[in-house]
Amino acid sequence: MAEPSRVRDLLGRQSAGGEVRVRGWLRSARHAKAVSFLDVSDGSCVGGVQVVGAPGLSNYEAEVRKLRTGCAVIAEGELVESPARGQRYEIQASRIEVVGWVGDDYPLQKKRHSFEFLREIAHLRPRTRSIGAVLRVRNAAAMAIHEFFQERGFMYLHTPIITTSDAEGAGEMFRVSTLDPASPPRTPAGEVDFTSDFFGKPAHLTVSGQLESEIGALALGDVYTFGPTFRAENSNTPRHLAEFWMVEPEMAFCDLRGNADLAESFLRGLIASVLERCPEELEFFDGLADGNLIDALRHIAESPFERLDYSEAVEILERSGQSFEFPVAWGNDLQSEHERYLSERHVGRPLIVTDYPKDIKAFYMYVNDDGRTVRAMDVLVPRVGEIIGGSQREDRAEVLERRITDCGLSPADYAWYLDLRRHGSVPHAGFGLGFERAVQLITGLANIRDVAPFPRVPGYADF
């Protein structure tokens, strides 16, 4: 009996011939007079392989003719040149084993389903061409990210998921607690007594691995973390998830410019790598995007990013003559519409905006000599807007402590973080790439819920 093959390998063969075996699920089944055409897909590539069944099969009438979309089969037979259009090979089956039937209510059919509908069946949608392709792109992108950093000597550091520090100081964290929510222990003042909670103090899911990455960088030089992060912000947008993956490099002896240079080569390299690793998937997404995707990605991979400081960006927006929904003024944060205008309309490619007002950025960013801006940077890309956020970190203990206090946070909560500035402090910098936003950019999909296998958003954490 032939060893099982992946459909991708079969379709990539130099020539037909030989006995083969495939295992997968039917994308479609068409039963004609005395012949059945089964489109078997196994998740290894966008397309399936056509298996042709004929009455010679022992179970042809009893089983094969009853096969429908969604059934699981193992098929064996000869790999032959296909007379049909659009496929090189097909399998003339000598045996078809039905491994799993489908119920009458199987929701996937041969036609194209809307992404909205597919979100409701996240347990079955990986079997579709589109979500299967998304998952393969995620896989390839994740591997490309590790290779990028490993090749440059960065060490992969595993930062914690449960934390007692708010890395962004924005209070958008999910609590982790084993206290009984119905009757938590109380302090004499009537507040919840977290000293008797599991960790002896309030604990949360991390919003970013940055603070611990800084510990790593200040000992190992260049490190990166790549893991899940969580934000309890009530944002119902096509670009926000409550759980998303972030890639966060952190470099010792590095300033904002070095950081921006790394961000640019990282993002361009990532896109080039996925273009190379997933040509078939990107052709597929290019089709969904009316042919506008691959050229746009090549353009990003090949052209240098524009760089602007925040004040210049605000002037450009003010002079743009656009009527934005959110007002543009020095001191206001850039909104997605502004980010997209700058990237799509003003420069026509990605750009890096630096030196934002300190009042709209996190406590840990290095304060510039002007006293009102910080060494922050955001990388903005067409269609998605902000894809990377980063900064040079404040490495002066006194300045950092003042910033923590000014931001309404308590230096006591950041004692170890301040300590790092008192013992062998060096200039250092890093950034975070939102992995799902990168996958949105690469696939061209409009909604972030379609590039996360199991999206978590306000009001929804099924599957």
3-state SS, 414-457, equals: HHHHHHHHHCCCCCEEEEEEEHHHHHHHHHCCCCHHHCCCCCCE
Give the whole-angstrom CA distance, residue 262 versus residue 431.
9
Pick from 273, 139, 155: which is nearest to 225 by CA? 155
Angstrom distances, CA of residue 319 to CA of 211, 333, 388: 38, 17, 25
Distance of closest approach, residue 211 Cβ to ligand 4AD, in angstroms: 8
| Helical spans, DSSP H, in 375-414 | 397-406
Distance of closest approach, residue 342 Cβ to Mg ion, in angstroms: 15
CB of 397 within 8 A of CB of 422? Answer: yes
Using the rule CB under 6 A, give the single segment among 112-120, 236-244, 282-290, 402-410 that binds ligand 4AD: 236-244
CB of 224 within 8 A of CB of 157? Answer: yes
Q: Is 434 in the site for Mg ion (CB under 5 A)?
A: no
Distance of closest approach, residue 367 Cβ to Mg ion, in angstroms: 18
**Size of interface with Mg ion, in residues (CB under 5 A):** 1
Strand partners, 224: 156, 249
CB closer to Mg ion out of 382 and 389: 389
Amino acid identity of 451?
A: V
Give the whole-angstrom CA distance, residue 234 versus residue 367.
29
Residue 387 interaction partner, one of ligand 4AD, Mg ion, none, beta carbon < 5-8 Å per kind = ligand 4AD
Amino acid identity of 380?
A: L
Site string for ligand 4AD, 383-422 (x = CB under 6 A): ---xxxxxx-------------------------------
Q: Is 389 in the site for Mg ion (CB under 5 A)?
A: yes
Report residue 52 CA to chain centroid gap: 38
Could you say which residues in the range 419-458 bind ligand 4AD, by CB under 6 A? 430-432, 434, 436-437
Pick from 53, 5, 59, 56: which is nearest to 31 by CA? 53
Could you say which residues in the range 259-278 bind ligand 4AD, by CB under 6 A? none
Give the whole-angstrom CA distance, residue 115 versus residue 301.
28
**DSSP run (H or E) holding 216:** helix 210-220
What are 221's two structure tokens? Answer: 């030089």
CB of 11 within 8 A of CB of 88? Answer: yes
Which backbone phi and psi does 63 adopt, to 5 degrees?
-130, -55
Residue appearing with tokens 């006293």 = 371
Residue 70 interaction partner, one of Mg ion, ligand 4AD, none, beta carbon < 5-8 Å per kind = none
CB closer to ligand 4AD out of 256 and 293: 256
The count of residues in the chain is: 463
Distance of closest approach, residue 389 Cβ to Mg ion, in angstroms: 3
Distance of closest approach, residue 428 Cβ to ligand 4AD, in angstroms: 11
Residue 431 interaction partner, one of ligand 4AD, Mg ion, none, beta carbon < 5-8 Å per kind = ligand 4AD
Q: Is 216 in the site for Mg ion (CB under 5 A)?
A: no
CB closer to ligand 4AD out of 29 and 384: 384
Report residue 324 CA to chain centroid gap: 28
Distance of closest approach, residue 431 Cβ to ligand 4AD, in angstroms: 5
Distance of closest approach, residue 356 Cβ to Mg ion, in angstroms: 10
CB closer to Mg ion out of 28 and 208: 208
Could you say which residues in the range 168-207 bind ligand 4AD, by CB under 6 A? 168
Pick from 86, 206, 226, 52: which is nearest to 150 by CA? 226
Site string for ligand 4AD, 43-82 (x = CB under 6 A): ----------------------------------------
**Size of interface with ligand 4AD, in residues (CB under 6 A):** 22
Distance of closest approach, residue 244 Cβ to ligand 4AD, in angstroms: 4
What are 141's two structure tokens? Answer: 């992108």
Q: Where do contacts with ligand 4AD occur on this chain (CB under 6 A)?
A: 167-168, 208, 210, 231, 240-241, 244, 246, 248, 386-391, 430-432, 434, 436-437
Q: Where do contacts with Mg ion occur on this chain (CB under 5 A)?
A: 389
